């Protein structure tokens, strides 16, 4: 497929070039750290809206974004993105706010898993939800509806999009788990990962204190003293 030729299509009906992919060890570290610590490392920015949830709650994903923007109720470009994506990629879908139609079901999810796609994040609807749960498909979605859409376009692949209230650029790092989805600019990954791992270590130490019986942190009373609540 000649991607350059596709780029010459009319506005709103284009497929742009490939993305730069991160080292697998970085992605595994992010997956192990989890979205809570990463969100802290991002200073609370770039966390998608809580409505976007995993269909199978225990799934964990980390990979670079293949972005898809589609007309409400249409999924033509999502079909194409599944065909284009490489193993380990995360497809992120902007449905323009559509909640009345599903854009993915069991067949498309199975095709994505067969290719080794790390996950699909959809700011919109899916269906066949029991089948998706049973297969442990790495799908995150805003809602569930049996109503199918169509495949007429228009749409774009690997253009900047918005998903869950967060800007997503092609190649951004997407991390997802039971707590939600975070989006990381690859240019700041070292800083984010350092902060996230430090936060996780701090939380682990605090858990050890709690298990030893240190229920209230000393800085809680100190904050109350500064506020004049206690003496």
Tokens (6 digits) for 57? 């709650």
Residue 132 annotated as part of some ligand binding site: no
Smallest CA-to-CA distance from 118 within 38, 58, 174, 63 is with 63
Residue 221 annotated as part of some ligand binding site: no
Residue 77 annotated as part of some ligand binding site: no
Residue 180 annotated as part of some ligand binding site: no
Burial of 211 (0-12, 13-18, 19+ CB in 10 A): exposed
Residue 27 annotated as part of some ligand binding site: no
For the chain, the three-class secondary structure string (H helix, E strand, C coil) is CCHHHHHCCCCCEEECCCCCCCCHHHHHHHHHHCHHHHHHHCCCCCECCCCCEECCCCCCEEEEEEEEEECCCECHHHHHHHHHCCCCCEEEEECCCCCCCECCCHHHHHHHHHHCCCEEEEEEEECCHHHHHHCCCCEEEEEECCCECECCCCEEECCCEEECCEEECCCCEEEEECCEEEEECHHHHHHHHHHHHHHHHHHHHHHHHHHHCCCCCHHHHHHHHHCCCCC
- How far, in Å, CA of 52 to CA of 16, rounded? 26
Give the residue ranges of the annotated binding site for substrate. 105-108, 127
Give the residue ranges of the annotated binding site for Mg(2+). 128
Give the residue ranges of the annotated binding site. 105-108, 127-128
């Amino acid at each position: 497929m000649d991607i350059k030729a596709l780029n010459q299509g009319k506005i709103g009906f284009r497929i742009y070039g490939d993305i730069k992919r991160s080292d697998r060890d970085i992605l595994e570290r992010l997956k192990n750290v989890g979205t809570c610590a990463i969100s802290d490392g991002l200073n609370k920015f770039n966390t998608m809206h809580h409505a976007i949830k995993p269909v199978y709650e225990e799934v964990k994903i980390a990979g670079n974004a293949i972005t898809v923007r589609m007309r409400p109720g249409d999924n033509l470009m999502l079909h194409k993105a599944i065909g284009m994506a490489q193993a380990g990629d995360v497809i992120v879908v902007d449905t323009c706010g559509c909640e009345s139609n599903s854009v993915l079901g069991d067949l498309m999810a199975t095709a994505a898993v067969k290719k080794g796609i790390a996950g699909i994040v959809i700011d919109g609807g899916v269906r066949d939800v029991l089948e998706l749960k049973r297969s442990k498909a790495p799908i995150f979605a805003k809602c569930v509806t049996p109503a199918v859409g169509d495949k007429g376009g228009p749409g774009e692949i690997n253009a900047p999009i918005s998903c869950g209230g967060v800007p997503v650029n092609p190649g951004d790092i997407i991390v997802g788990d039971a707590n939600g989805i975070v989006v990381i600019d690859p240019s700041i990954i070292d800083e984010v990962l350092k902060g996230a791992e430090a936060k996780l270590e701090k939380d682990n130490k605090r858990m050890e204190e709690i298990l030893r019986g240190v229920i209230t942190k000393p800085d809680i009373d100190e904050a109350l003293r500064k506020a004049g609540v206690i003496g």
